Amino acid sequence: AGITPSAELLTEKEVAAVAEQAAAEAAKPKTPEEEGYEAIGDGFYVKGVQFKSFGSSARVVGEIRNLSGQDHRTAIFNIMVYNLNNVLVTDRDFTVKGFNKDTVKVFQEPLTGADPGDISRYVIKFKGVTQF
Protein backbone atom coordinates (compact mmCIF):
# COMPACT_ATOMS: atom_id res chain seq x y z
CA ALA A 1 0.00 0.00 0.00
CA GLY A 2 1.44 3.32 -1.12
CA ILE A 3 1.14 6.67 0.60
CA THR A 4 -1.32 9.01 -1.00
CA PRO A 5 -0.06 12.62 -1.08
CA SER A 6 -2.49 15.01 0.57
CA ALA A 7 -1.64 17.84 -1.82
CA GLU A 8 -0.69 18.01 -5.45
CA LEU A 9 2.99 18.35 -6.22
CA LEU A 10 4.09 21.71 -7.58
CA THR A 11 5.34 21.89 -11.13
CA GLU A 12 8.96 22.90 -11.68
CA LYS A 13 7.73 26.29 -12.90
CA GLU A 14 5.71 26.82 -9.69
CA VAL A 15 8.68 25.78 -7.53
CA ALA A 16 10.92 28.22 -9.42
CA ALA A 17 8.35 31.02 -8.93
CA VAL A 18 8.15 30.36 -5.17
CA ALA A 19 11.97 30.27 -4.90
CA GLU A 20 12.26 33.51 -6.90
CA GLN A 21 9.72 35.23 -4.66
CA ALA A 22 11.55 34.06 -1.51
CA ALA A 23 14.90 35.27 -2.90
CA ALA A 24 13.40 38.67 -3.78
CA GLU A 25 11.97 38.98 -0.25
CA ALA A 26 15.34 38.05 1.31
CA ALA A 27 17.18 40.56 -0.91
CA LYS A 28 14.78 43.38 -0.05
CA PRO A 29 16.61 45.90 2.14
CA LYS A 30 15.47 45.93 5.74
CA THR A 31 14.28 49.12 7.37
CA PRO A 32 16.43 50.44 10.23
CA GLU A 33 13.62 49.48 12.60
CA GLU A 34 13.67 45.89 11.29
CA GLU A 35 17.40 45.87 12.10
CA GLY A 36 16.73 46.93 15.70
CA TYR A 37 17.37 50.66 15.33
CA GLU A 38 15.23 53.40 16.87
CA ALA A 39 14.70 56.69 14.99
CA ILE A 40 16.12 59.69 16.88
CA GLY A 41 15.51 62.43 14.30
CA ASP A 42 16.60 63.71 10.87
CA GLY A 43 17.65 60.31 9.49
CA PHE A 44 19.70 59.20 12.50
CA TYR A 45 19.04 55.91 14.30
CA VAL A 46 20.35 54.39 17.54
CA LYS A 47 20.64 50.80 18.82
CA GLY A 48 22.50 48.65 21.30
CA VAL A 49 22.40 51.28 24.05
CA GLN A 50 23.87 50.03 27.34
CA PHE A 51 24.83 51.65 30.61
CA LYS A 52 28.03 50.52 32.31
CA SER A 53 29.83 51.41 35.53
CA PHE A 54 32.43 54.14 35.11
CA GLY A 55 34.09 54.94 38.42
CA SER A 56 31.40 56.37 40.70
CA SER A 57 29.17 57.18 37.71
CA ALA A 58 28.05 55.51 34.50
CA ARG A 59 28.88 55.58 30.85
CA VAL A 60 26.52 55.01 27.97
CA VAL A 61 27.63 53.01 24.93
CA GLY A 62 25.77 52.25 21.73
CA GLU A 63 25.77 52.82 18.01
CA ILE A 64 24.28 55.54 15.85
CA ARG A 65 23.54 55.13 12.15
CA ASN A 66 23.57 58.07 9.74
CA LEU A 67 20.87 57.68 7.09
CA SER A 68 20.43 61.46 6.74
CA GLY A 69 21.79 61.37 3.19
CA GLN A 70 24.62 63.77 4.09
CA ASP A 71 28.17 63.69 5.42
CA HIS A 72 28.66 65.67 8.63
CA ARG A 73 31.83 67.02 10.23
CA THR A 74 30.11 66.77 13.61
CA ALA A 75 26.68 65.46 14.59
CA ILE A 76 25.31 66.63 17.92
CA PHE A 77 22.98 64.49 20.03
CA ASN A 78 21.33 64.86 23.42
CA ILE A 79 20.76 62.13 26.00
CA MET A 80 18.41 62.38 28.94
CA VAL A 81 18.62 59.60 31.54
CA TYR A 82 15.90 58.86 34.11
CA ASN A 83 16.11 56.86 37.34
CA LEU A 84 13.71 54.21 38.66
CA ASN A 85 11.46 56.98 40.06
CA ASN A 86 11.30 58.55 36.57
CA VAL A 87 13.34 61.54 37.77
CA LEU A 88 15.78 63.10 35.29
CA VAL A 89 19.30 62.16 36.45
CA THR A 90 21.37 63.69 33.66
CA ASP A 91 20.75 65.70 30.51
CA ARG A 92 23.76 66.27 28.30
CA ASP A 93 24.86 66.76 24.72
CA PHE A 94 27.48 64.64 22.99
CA THR A 95 29.06 64.71 19.55
CA VAL A 96 30.04 62.19 16.90
CA LYS A 97 32.79 63.50 14.61
CA GLY A 98 33.41 62.63 10.95
CA PHE A 99 29.97 61.10 10.50
CA ASN A 100 29.55 60.19 6.82
CA LYS A 101 26.21 59.20 5.33
CA ASP A 102 25.27 55.51 5.41
CA THR A 103 27.77 54.71 8.18
CA VAL A 104 27.46 53.48 11.75
CA LYS A 105 29.50 54.99 14.58
CA VAL A 106 29.94 53.59 18.07
CA PHE A 107 29.62 56.17 20.82
CA GLN A 108 30.47 56.13 24.50
CA GLU A 109 29.93 59.00 26.88
CA PRO A 110 30.41 59.42 30.63
CA LEU A 111 27.23 60.21 32.59
CA THR A 112 28.29 61.98 35.78
CA GLY A 113 26.02 61.32 38.73
CA ALA A 114 24.23 58.36 37.14
CA ASP A 115 24.30 54.85 38.62
CA PRO A 116 23.80 52.16 35.93
CA GLY A 117 21.68 50.07 38.31
CA ASP A 118 19.30 52.98 38.91
CA ILE A 119 18.62 53.86 35.25
CA SER A 120 15.11 53.01 34.11
CA ARG A 121 14.96 54.74 30.75
CA TYR A 122 16.71 57.16 28.42
CA VAL A 123 15.89 59.42 25.50
CA ILE A 124 18.45 60.16 22.77
CA LYS A 125 17.60 62.84 20.20
CA PHE A 126 19.42 64.38 17.26
CA LYS A 127 20.23 68.06 17.90
CA GLY A 128 22.24 69.45 14.99
CA VAL A 129 25.22 69.09 12.66
CA THR A 130 28.29 70.74 11.21
CA GLN A 131 28.63 70.12 7.45
CA PHE A 132 31.87 69.06 5.75
* Distance from C-alpha of 21 to C-alpha of 110, rounded to nearest angstrom: 48
Q: Please state the pTM of the whole predicted model.
A: 0.77
Segments of 4-118 assigned E as strands: 38-41, 44-54, 57-66, 72-83, 88-99, 103-111
How many domains are contained in the chain?
1
State what percent of residues in the chain have pLDDT above 90: 69
Predicted local confidence at residue 106, as pLDDT: 97
Predicted local confidence at residue 3, as pLDDT: 60
Q: Which residues of 54-91 are buried (b: 16+ CB within 10 A; e: fewer)?
A: beeebbbebbbbbbbeeebeebebbbebbbeeeeebbe
> For residue range 48-75, what is the model confidence (pLDDT) as tens digits?
999 999 888 999 999 999 999 999 999 9
119 bridge partner residues: 83
- The answer to whether residue 45 sits within a structural domain is yes
Where residue 16 falls among pLDDT bands split at 50, 70, 90?
Answer: confident
Query: CATH no. for residue 126?
Result: 2.60.40.3230
Quote the domain boundaries for residue 78: 38-131
25 or 37, which is more confident: 37
- The answer to whether residue 85 sits within a structural domain is yes
| Poorest-pLDDT segment among 4-13, 19-28, 87-96 | 4-13
* Distance from C-alpha of 39 to C-alpha of 10, rounded to nearest angstrom: 43
- The answer to whether residue 21 sits within a structural domain is no
Where residue 5 falls among pLDDT bands split at 50, 70, 90?
Answer: low
